[in-house]
Structure 1
Amino acid sequence: MFGHDSSGLASLIPGYWDHVGMIVGWSDYYNDWLVVEAEPSTGVHVTTFSTFLTRYETVAIERVAVSDAIKEAAVQFALAQVGKSYNWDFFSKPKVYDDKYYCSQLVWAAYMAASNGQVNLDPNPSWSWEYGYAVAPTEVYDSNWTYVVYYNGI
């Protein structure tokens, strides 16, 4: 699930999309879908789909073209990271197994871990002039492994 907001610090993130989270399942308690994400103020945490939607001018949902087993393992990996700190290091090559994550690193790492390194959502896994070593939300969006199922922009 991707978000774009043209205000604030979002303009510092390369590419169109400035945030990504992973839909991890339905909550009867909240009567809403749940999203795992990493944010500077809260680190890795779970929020509701509705809350995620309110923060962005444009939202897209993509699926990753992998087996249900890999999707479930990616969800379990992401959920296991809840409570970890936000990773401010956008300049080094991201790690799959880390003690902190930024948003797109979390989603990328979840699929790398779930697939034993076979599903790399970063189409620029080495240095690029636009993204450096980091994996940006737009790179996940542009991955050959993903496809759009919903898009809504203002």
Structure 2
Amino acid sequence: DGEGSAGTSAAEAPPLAFVFNRDVARFVAGLVHANQSSELQFDAVNLGCEQQPTLREFLSLLSAAAGLGPAPVLKPVERPKSFLPSVDRPLRLCCRRMNEIYGFSATPLEDVLKSCSDWFRDACKSFPEEAADAAMKLPVAARATALASAGLKMPEPASSSSSSDSDS
């Protein structure tokens, strides 16, 4: 089915757990200003988006947030790369304590992805040369999509001819 490792069906694809940096800041600021009981002083709590999609679902959400249309088609490979090792988990992350004990609600993943997409779009406008250089490192089809969505043109290939500045 193209998701997960070779021989792994989409139904068995592991969930991906994401945390939004603004949620971390909001959670910590809430702790600083709250009068927590001493039993929570050294508490461990999972903080993250409650929606934990598979890679296929994540790519669809990201594509929609960026306004790019359908998500890329995934195909099985013999030795899959791990692009997101810190978020690729065998089980869903439990955020029950975050909600019940701390009364904290994480930003919905769709909102996180829209915020990130907007940030990248703005960064591409502010730094077009750097954005074009980064896009050139992508596979050809992804490169064209990235450049078009950022409103950038394909960079001119660097000239490989030598200059005539030599002393000969």
Q: Which TM bucket (shorter chain)?
A: under 0.3
Which structure: greater strand fraction?
1
TM-score with structure 2 setting the length: 0.23
Which structure: greater helix fraction?
2
